[in-house]
Chain A
């Protein structure tokens, strides 16, 4: 329902502060006595750490403190769904991708901190590196986490898939693959932390979910939730990347140790190496269809590479499975989704959350089917598109607001109005 204000493009409430430069992003925050923090990342994607020698790094002028896991034996893993990600990897422990952290370095200037990081010497034993999720699923593959390389398996079974394929006049099988994609938020990862008089740790850093960030930071550090305060500065893009909390946790650890404000800004390179990616996914689709274009069966296998840590992966990959038939009614659907660890940079939430990857696969499949049947791709879509009363692959009945057919009709009209010709 349109109102006097709702349904109208009023000036954006945050626009003026942003275009005049008044909006404060985490990178803009400054305190007189603040220190700078950077971290040492893993030298190899899969290895057991044997020794971390800080002597030369500590001798760099301006270095205030270097924190390793040995200083924080009680530090717990963090993670959005499974707590499988360490904020620091210690001696005798494994790094699982090149973004894992071995030391938190704090000093008076960023230049000094970066210089010190280069002087830390690490000894390690290499392990087999797995970059292919199909290799990770093989029985003889080295396990990246003790419970095995398959993080989780999800199943889908609606209707009667065998009958669905028997009713089909044409069965089409294809495999599709998507790639690792980076969010490229305009604003770099950055944050500032302070320690208040009552020992509350205040963190200013762009996050998509303040309250969840607070709980995860608190549990990793073994602190009551109330001792962590997250304050939202202006945010320069997120796209899913700012659900994971690694910089916030490093800042919290650092500020507690040095008891002075601590600031960090990642370089673009570090951000790309160490923070989450879009899951590369493999889709194996077998689709049954009648001569007139009616879908009868859709069988799907989905494999998602979540990299070194689960992050949002267990939810992303099966969302790809649950959306495998797109906006089309198919009475018989069966499928399985595997979320798999590798030694690639961990994959997490990114705009579309698995549904983006699967759309490339099912919409390619629909066009392939249309050509094989000699049906116009638009007609094939209109024929199978959801309407009120349709059920999704999850068996959810759609009761209202099912505008997919209208989106097809309106898009075609607009395209033709612009002079486009559909061939």
Chain B
């Protein structure tokens, strides 16, 4: 016989290193002679999409298409530190560093354009890699031409900027601090499971997740994070466990004995993005990398209880464990 149940879990995640630990990111951006925009950071893109995010932010502020951004990959000889791709920090920290740098460069370009046109700020705007005077659009100057003008004048169209917020080290006696983390991301997951009471096997059949990301810079990337994180959460809830024997020998060091979810174990899921803007984030954004997986396992564990009355207090909820608990319940009745 099979039984279904639904579980919910809501979570919080303070992102950035926090706790007074120095946490900063530096970026540099320049207009190349051909008018393309070079963005340099050392942010590691482990697949999550930070390079797309920084390209979008730079393109938005400088008024250029994303396709005209050239990225310089992380290399300690040519890029300054962008901190780690960890602590759910890259969108917020390197995003802010790129935003600050793009703003500095935007003002450098503006200052040069003002000199070229003899017109001041409100009469000029940026569009499609050009500076354009209001009402005289035919007189627009491309970034490539501006780069040439700048070179002739011995000026450079480049900028470097950082983001380095202050956080508070918690008091060692009680953990209290005014600003322990820069900000917090929240996620709620609802999972529906079906349990085979004969085998103890749990199948996740439906799942929704609602992350509060402040502002999604790239909504599809947020969905990707949520889907990948949820799959990892299913593994943690139901199957993954590295085992050691009493001599410290690791017993299952292969994918034949250490099971992770396959596409057959992951249900169709829906992500609903909540955007409660974070004033300190770039365009209001917060990080999502880690919180994407946090609410999955507890939602599944609560769904198992809802389905069959088994309360799993030690992860993972393997079929063996569930069968054992079901037997205990039956004996108690």
Q: How far is the CB of A324 from chain B (nearest CB, A)?
A: 10
Interface residues on A, range: 35 or more
Mark the stretch among A64-72, A110-118, A254-262, A358-366 that contacts chain B.
A358-366
Mark the stretch among B109-117, B150-158, B188-196 that contacts chain A.
B188-196
Contacts of A238 in B (CB 8 A): 44, 46-47, 85
Rounded to whole angstroms, the CA-CA distance of A335 and B236 in the bound complex is 25
Closest to B233 in A: A356
> A177 contacts B314, CB within 8 Å?
yes
- Partner of B175 from the list A3, A156, A422 (CB cut-off 8 Å) is A156
> A404 contacts B172, CB within 8 Å?
no
User: What 0/1 readout, one digit per residue, does chain A (346-368) give for beta carbons within 8 Å of chain B?
Assistant: 00010111011001101110011
User: What 0/1 readout, one digit per residue, does chain B (195-220) give for beta carbons within 8 Å of chain A?
Assistant: 00000000000101111101111111
Rounded to whole angstroms, the CA-CA distance of A321 and B45 in the bound complex is 29
Rounded to whole angstroms, the CA-CA distance of A46 and B246 in the bound complex is 11
> B49 contacts A12, CB within 8 Å?
yes
Contacts of B94 in A (CB 8 A): none
> A363 contacts B6, CB within 8 Å?
no
Q: Give residues of chain A (169-191) contacting chain B, Cβ–Cβ below 8 Å.
A: 174-182, 184
Contacts of B189 in A (CB 8 A): 411
Confirm or deny: B87 has a beta carbon within 8 angstroms of a beta carbon on chain A.
Answer: yes
> B52 contacts A12, CB within 8 Å?
yes
Contacts of A149 in B (CB 8 A): none
Mark the stretch among B132-140, B270-278, B322-330 that contacts chain A.
B270-278
- Partner of A364 from the list B192, B243, B245, B301 (CB cut-off 8 Å) is B301
Confirm or deny: A19 has a beta carbon within 8 angstroms of a beta carbon on chain B.
Answer: no
> B301 contacts A403, CB within 8 Å?
no
Q: How far is the CB of B318 from chain A (nearest CB, A)?
A: 10
Rounded to whole angstroms, the CA-CA distance of A237 and B60 in the bound complex is 28
- Partner of B75 from the list A206, A231, A268, A377 (CB cut-off 8 Å) is A231
Rounded to whole angstroms, the CA-CA distance of A8 and B60 in the bound complex is 11
Q: Give residues of chain A (222-262) contacting chain B, Cβ–Cβ below 8 Å.
A: 228-232, 235-240, 242-243
Contacts of A343 in B (CB 8 A): 248
> A13 contacts B176, CB within 8 Å?
no
> A9 contacts B218, CB within 8 Å?
yes
> B283 contacts A1, CB within 8 Å?
yes
Rounded to whole angstroms, the CA-CA distance of A292 and B145 in the bound complex is 69
Confirm or deny: A208 has a beta carbon within 8 angstroms of a beta carbon on chain B.
Answer: yes
Contacts of B187 in A (CB 8 A): 407
Confirm or deny: A210 has a beta carbon within 8 angstroms of a beta carbon on chain B.
Answer: yes
> B215 contacts A2, CB within 8 Å?
yes
> A231 contacts B74, CB within 8 Å?
yes
> A359 contacts B294, CB within 8 Å?
yes
Contacts of B218 in A (CB 8 A): 8-10
Confirm or deny: A418 has a beta carbon within 8 angstroms of a beta carbon on chain B.
Answer: yes
> B219 contacts A363, CB within 8 Å?
no
Contacts of B47 in A (CB 8 A): 235-238
A7 with B76, Cβ < 8 A, contacts A327-B11, A355-B13 known: no
A180 with B214, Cβ < 8 A, contacts A272-B250, A322-B180 known: no
Closest to A423 in B: B6
Q: Give residues of chain B (207-260) contacting chain A, Cβ–Cβ below 8 Å.
A: 208-212, 214-221, 229, 232, 235-236, 240-250, 252-255, 258, 260
> B250 contacts A98, CB within 8 Å?
yes
Rounded to whole angstroms, the CA-CA distance of A107 and B180 in the bound complex is 49
Closest to B245 in A: A131
> A211 contacts B240, CB within 8 Å?
no
> A232 contacts B270, CB within 8 Å?
no
Rounded to whole angstroms, the CA-CA distance of A349 and B214 in the bound complex is 25
Q: How far is the CB of B174 from chain A (nearest CB, A)?
A: 4
Rounded to whole angstroms, the CA-CA distance of A12 and B275 in the bound complex is 21
- Partner of B253 from the list A273, A385, A412, A423 (CB cut-off 8 Å) is A273
Closest to A406 in B: B274
Q: How far is the CB of B177 from chain A (nearest CB, A)?
A: 5
Confirm or deny: B161 has a beta carbon within 8 angstroms of a beta carbon on chain A.
Answer: no
> A402 contacts B293, CB within 8 Å?
no
A364 with B313, Cβ < 8 A, contacts A394-B176, A396-B180, A401-B286 known: yes
> A359 contacts B298, CB within 8 Å?
yes
Rounded to whole angstroms, the CA-CA distance of A412 and B79 in the bound complex is 45
Contacts of B142 in A (CB 8 A): none
> A13 contacts B217, CB within 8 Å?
no
Confirm or deny: A378 has a beta carbon within 8 angstroms of a beta carbon on chain B.
Answer: yes
User: What 0/1 readout, one digit per residue, does chain A (1-39) give for beta carbons within 8 Å of chain B?
Assistant: 111111111111110000000000000000000000000
> B314 contacts A322, CB within 8 Å?
no
> A181 contacts B12, CB within 8 Å?
no
Rounded to whole angstroms, the CA-CA distance of A414 and B192 in the bound complex is 13
Confirm or deny: A421 has a beta carbon within 8 angstroms of a beta carbon on chain B.
Answer: yes
Q: Give residues of chain A (352-399) contacting chain B, Cβ–Cβ below 8 Å.
A: 352-353, 355-356, 359-360, 362-364, 367-368, 377-378, 381, 385-386, 392-398
A404 with B186, Cβ < 8 A, contacts A232-B74, A395-B177, A418-B206 known: yes
> B313 contacts A174, CB within 8 Å?
yes
> A207 contacts B170, CB within 8 Å?
no
Confirm or deny: B319 has a beta carbon within 8 angstroms of a beta carbon on chain A.
Answer: no
Closest to A96 in B: B248
User: What 0/1 readout, one digit per residue, does chain B (117-144) give for beta carbons within 8 Å of chain A?
Assistant: 0000000000000000000000000000
13 A-B pairs with CB atoms under 8 Å apart are A8-B56, A9-B220, A154-B175, A232-B42, A268-B254, A326-B11, A327-B186, A360-B301, A367-B305, A403-B212, A407-B187, A407-B212, A411-B272
- Of all A-B residue pairs in the complex, the 10 with the closest CB atoms, nearest first, are A45-B248, A403-B212, A403-B276, A209-B84, A363-B298, A9-B220, A232-B74, A157-B174, A180-B242, A401-B278
Sample of 5 further A-B pairs with CB below 8 A, known A209-B83, A278-B236: A4-B60, A212-B84, A355-B14, A402-B186, A418-B206
